[in-house]
Each structure stands twice: as structure tokens, then as C-alpha cells.
Structure 1
Amino acid sequence: MALLEAPPRGTDAQPPRRGLFDGRIGSVEVLAVVLVLLVVFRSRVADLLSGPQMSTWTTVFVSVMLQATPFLVFGVALSAVIAVFVPRSFWAKALPKHPALAVPVASCAGVILPGCECGSVPIAGSLIRRGVTPAAALAFLLAAPAINPIVLTATAIAFPGKPGMVVARAVVSLIVAMVMGWLWIRLGKAEWIRMPARPELDGLSKPRAFWAACRHDIIHAGGFLALGAAAAATINVVVPERWMLTVADQPVLSVLVLALLAVLLSICSEADAFVAASLSQFSLTARLAFLVVGPMVDLKLISMQAGVFGRRFAARFAPTTFLVGVGLAGLYGWLFL
């Protein structure tokens, strides 16, 4: 009976040690199985990696990453400088008091904020907390990632010999931002916006806050860039050429497909021009829709907007921005491209 007695109080009962084959599968077991499979099928894996499709995939992926990474790093650094060292009250003082006039001014102010959409969402939230009218803050949110000098320079390099794409991206993005700001004045409701605090940089010295902002943005934006580059490379390799050509030959369908692709890929605005340039089978109008919609509506932005402004806001703002962006990009491309 002594063997069945509970351990005395004050002593820790040691849990039984689990054996290697106790029925639970962990990361070590998964790694072991993967290594065994690689050894067993090493010849087939070698053939796959050395094949022409994998070579094409690697070429597209590496080229997109190499072209986009300098702009991503530079944009994140400058965005952190502005977010940390420029007083937030500056934006409220610089904008007109009338909401309808503040919208175009806030939209054009995006030119002086070199950064990606990941930084524009919290900045727009801080603008609203500082008393800026929501319409102006939302117009700034949409315009800043699309018309700042870093993004436009990257677009010019990604589309050499096509300055019209740079102008088109700047003009259409600016118009979309202003239209959405004016629509908010007309149709928006204050209760749709919920503003939580953003304390992650509070209490830090400015140098520490700067590096913290850089680390946060580069990890998130760099990860999405790698995913976007991989997706672009996969599209170039996996999707049959005839399918791409079939979609590309349909003017309306191609615009919608690339706009939806921009939402799904969630590429940082400093890098999306290089991905768009790689989709050369599509028309300039379709690629313009990709460049306009991507910095304004994508999966990471929708989640960030829901976290900063609330789900009710994101559920209304994101679909409306998508429709306005696709419509204006298609109209501009039909008229001028």
C-alpha cells in the first residue's frame, strides 16, 4: 500500500519522463524525418533544384529582393526618424481647420513622409489623437505610402523609360486619398473609430525609440517583402503562361486580378513597384491598379487598421478604398496609358 500513497507535502512530485516514442511529435522529430527524406530522395531533390523552373524562380526572387531591399531599409529609417524626432503636434498646426481644406493638404503632406504603409497607420492614429480631423488623417494615411519620394524613385527605377507610370501612380494615389477623405466627411461616423493607446515607444529615449521603431518596421516589412517576392516568383513559374496571357488579354479582368493580387501579397510600398514590373505580361493599366491599391488596401493594412481604428472602421473603409482605387486606376489607364 505504501507504493500507492501520495508524496508527502513539501516535496515536489517529479513528472514522469517521456520517452522518444511516447506518441508526441515535436520539432526534433519533424526535422529528423525531413532529413531522412532528403537523404532518401536526394537525387530527385537535386534534379528539382537544378531544373529550369527553379532557376527561374530563384532569379526572379533574388532580383526583386536585391532591387527592393535598399529602398525598404532607407524608407524605414527615415520613417522612424520622423516618427520619433518630429513632434506630433506639428501636424495639427500645419493643417487648415476646415476639414474639406485639410484633406488635400494632408494628402500632399504625404510627400514629405518617406515610409511604408506600416508606419502611416499609427501616425494617422496619433494625428487623430492630437485633434486632427479624421478625414485629413485618413487621407494622409492613404497618400503617404504611395506618393513619397522613396516610393516614386523606386517606381522610376522599376519602370525605366516609362516616366508616365511614376506620374500615374502619384496622381491616381493622390486623388484616391482625397476622395476617401471627402467621402469620410460626407458619410463617416465618429463611432466607427476606436482609438487605443500605442505605448510601445513611450518611456524610451529618442535613440532607443528610433532603433525600436526600425527593428519593428524592418522585421515586419521585410518579412512581407520576402513573401511578396516569393509569391511573384511562384506566379511566374507555377501559373501557366497561357492562363496569365488569357487574363492579361482581358482589360477589365486583368485590372481586378492584379488589384486583388496586391491585397493578398501585402508588399511594402517601397518594394511593390519591382514586383509589378516583373508581371510584364499585364498591361500598364493593370499594373497601375496593383501599385495604387497595394499601399492602401492589403491584408496587413486591414489588420492594422482594425487594431488601431477598430473593426467597424476597417470593415467599411478597406472595401470602399479598394473600389475607389480600382475605379480611378482603370479610368486613368484607359485615358492616358
Structure 2
Amino acid sequence: MDWTQLNSAFTLFLSLLVEAVPFLLLGVLFSGLLQFFVDERKLVQLMPRDAFLGALAGSCMGFLFPVCECGNVPVARRLIMRGVPSSVAIGFLLAAPTINPIVFWATWTAFRDQPEMVFLRIGCSLIIATTIGWVFSAQKDLRPFLQPAVAKAMPSKKGTRNGGQASQATSGPSALLQSGTYFLGQSDQRVDPMDFQAAAIAAAGKPTGYKLNLMLEGMVQEFRELGGVLVFGSAIAAMLQVFVSREAILALGQGPISSILAMMLLAAVVSICSTVDSFFALAFSSTFTTGSLLSFLVFGPMIDLKGIGLLLSIFKPRAVFYLIALAAQMTFLFAFVVNLYFS
């Protein structure tokens, strides 16, 4: 290790940050606006009850509500607690971090010389999320797969919670479309913009200025959370590019199978936000196969170490294992086919 290598790594690190930060800020802004100015109850009424169409609709909801993988889990959890069909909630859970205009724009900017990568990413993510949502719809009652607190909060067929209390779905303002943490309504002591229920109740009937102030506080907290992940991921990308032997990277990155497995593992471990992960993947475009880059862009937003902890706030470990296994197998299959035809 010498100063030249350190300087090169730092330069690459800064270039990744400069390209990615504007997209992260834009995604956080959308998330904040949706928290306080959109009512999800009307959206829930529009969701189709057919399993396949519901999974497809849920997968496409990200185009309307661009939340990254830091926000899709709490939103999906709220959908389930509202009684939305499982196919819709799971389709949204897996697709929203990728199927949204912010990620589309970011991927297009990063891979402007490889436009096919943008459409492959969107198409594969949509197919995988819709298929898995459809598969899970075979479980008519999702409660055995859910954590007890979530299952208890779901409405019964008579419109009451499992605990016997009347549903409060019609009282209070919308609290669904917010991203950040997954602690839903746990604090009634203070107004925390990252707390679904408290922030929504506090904003009810308040002037626009008050809502904007809460939105700004939430944006600052969320950007601080996601910005730390971005810095960490950018540092890893820079260090790998400079300090890892190029021969070793080439040997790993050119194999049609090994390259896919390596990038899927990297996507899960690094856990970069979907609004900026395309810039991370771009750093490997000269050494890894097209299919392996695609696997990183598709699998990472669905399954990563950070997201697994959040998934366990909704599902029991068995269900999380099913989600991971299905997503991994389908991602590998698509990536392998792309390697055969694009490499």
C-alpha cells in the first residue's frame, strides 16, 4: 500500500459520492412528500383481488411511490396490517426499491452506454416480484407466516382486529407512505417524523408549514441513515478497485457462474440503497460480466443483510427463508441467461 494507491482510492470514492448523492436526496424528498400528502386508504380500495393481477399491481406501485429498500419494508408491513392481499404487499415489498422512477433515472445515468441494462433490471425485477407475490398468494391465510404482532393487527373478516378491537383504519390520517425505520407507531411521547403513527396524527389538521417542517426533519434523519450506507458502500467499491489484484478480479468476474454468485453475495453484504447502487455496479463494469452486474442490481434491492433484519419484523424466519431462496434462484437464472446472450 502506498500514497498513490490511497490517492486513487480516495478519488474514486469521491467520484462515486458526487454522482450518487443527488439521486439519494431526490429519493428522500419523494419519500418525505408522500408521508404527509398522500392518503393510502383510497389506494388500498383500488387494489385488485385476483392473485396474479394483485402481485403485478403491487410490483408496479413503486412507480407511484418511490421508496428504496430502506422504506419498502415498513410500507409493506402497513399494507399487510391494513388487510391488503398478500400478493400485493409482497409484490410491492420486492419490486418497489427497483420499480420506481428515481432508480430508473439513476440506472439510466450510470449505464448510459449500456441502455439495455436499464430495461433488463426493470423487467427482471418486475417478473421476479410478481411471480413471488403470486406464489405466496397460495397461502390463503398469511398469519402463520407473520410475526405475532403483525398477525394480531390484521383485520378479521368482520373488520375487527384479531385482538377483538375495532379497526382504526378509518380514523386518523394516512401513515403508510413513509420510509426510514420500521417502528410503526411505537412512540406516543413526542412527535418523531420517522414514527408512522405519531407523525401522521400530529400532522392531522395542521397547516402546510407544520407538515413541511416535520417532512424536513424526517428527510434529514433518513438522509443521515442512508448517507452512512452510501459512504460505506462507496468506500468498499473504491478499495476493491484499487487494492484488490486486477488479475483476481478478472478471474472471478469473467466466469459465467462465479461472477453471478460473487455479485449476488456482494449485493447482500454491502446493502447499498437502490437509488445509488447502479453507480457502485458501474465500477465493476469493465471486469465483471453483464449478467453478474444485473444480478447485483436485481438481487441487492430485494435481499440484503440490512433488509433481512427488517423483513424479520414482518415475517417469521421460515417465510424470510422462502423469500430469499426464491429471489436468489430466479435472479441467478435470469443473470445466467443474460450471460449466455450478452457476453
Normalising TM by the smaller chain, what interval? Answer: 0.7 to 0.9
- Contact kept, 8 Å, 2:268 with 2:304, in 1: the verdict is yes
Deviation at 1:246, TM superposition (A): 0.4
Q: Which residue number in structure 1 is paired with residue 323 of structure 2?
A: 317
Q: Tell me the equivalent position of 2:307.
A: 301
Distance 1:75 1:187 in 2: 33
CA contact (8 A) 2:289 2:339 kept: no
Q: 1:93 offset after TM fit, Å?
A: 1.5
- Unaligned ranges ≥5, structure 1: 1-46
**1:267 to partner: Cα distance:** 0.2
**Pick aligned residue for 1:71 from 10, 14, 23:** 23
Q: Of Structure 1 and Structure 2, which has the larger fraction of its residues in helix?
A: 1
The code of the aligned residue for 1:193 comes to: L
Quick one: structure 1 residues 245 and 296, their matched pair in 2 at CA, closer, same or farther if it must change by over 3 Å?
same
Instruction: Please give the residue correspondences for 1:89-108 in structure 2 after superposition, counting only pairs within 5 Å.
Output: 89-108=41-60
Counterpart secondary structure, 1:186: coil
Separation in 2 of the partners of 1:237 and 1:92? 49
Cα deviation per residue 1:182-238 (whole Å; 9 max; x = unaligned)? Answer: 121235843111227701232332335423432332122111111110111111122
- 1:8-19 matches, cutoff 5 A: none
Structure 1 residue identity aligned to 2:79: L
Is the CA contact (8 Å cut-off) linking 1:273 and 1:291 kept in structure 2? yes
| Matching of residue 245 in structure 1 with residue 198 in structure 2 | no
Does residue 147 of structure 2 align to residue 141 of structure 1?
A: no
Amino acid aligned to 1:299? L
In the alignment, structure 2 segments of 5+ residues that lack a partner are 154-182, 186-194, 204-210
Q: Does 1:123 align with 2:75?
A: yes
| Shift, 1:179, TM fit | 1.1
- 1 CA distance for matches of 2:338 and 2:55? 21
1:169 pairs with one of 97, 118, 121: 121
The answer as to 2:272 corresponding to 1:263 is no
In the alignment, the residues of structure 2 paired with residue 268 and residue 82 of structure 1 have an alpha-carbon distance, to the nearest angstrom, of 19
Is the 8 Å Cα contact of residues 192 and 312 (structure 1) preserved in structure 2?
Answer: yes
RMSD: 1.9
User: Does structure 1 residue 286 correspond to structure 2 residue 239?
Assistant: no
Identity %: 34
Secondary structure of the structure 2 residue equivalent to 1:307: coil
CA contact (8 A) 2:103 2:274 kept: yes
TM-score by length of 2: 0.79
Q: Which moved more, 1:311-320 or 1:88-97?
A: 311-320
* Among 158, 167, 184, the residue aligned to 2:110: 158
Of residues 270-279 and 192-201 in structure 1, the stretch that sits farther from structure 2 once superposed is: 192-201
Alpha-carbon contact 1:88-1:126 (below 8 Å) kept: no
In structure 1, distance between residues paired with 2:218 and 2:85: 26
2:144 equivalent in structure 1: 191
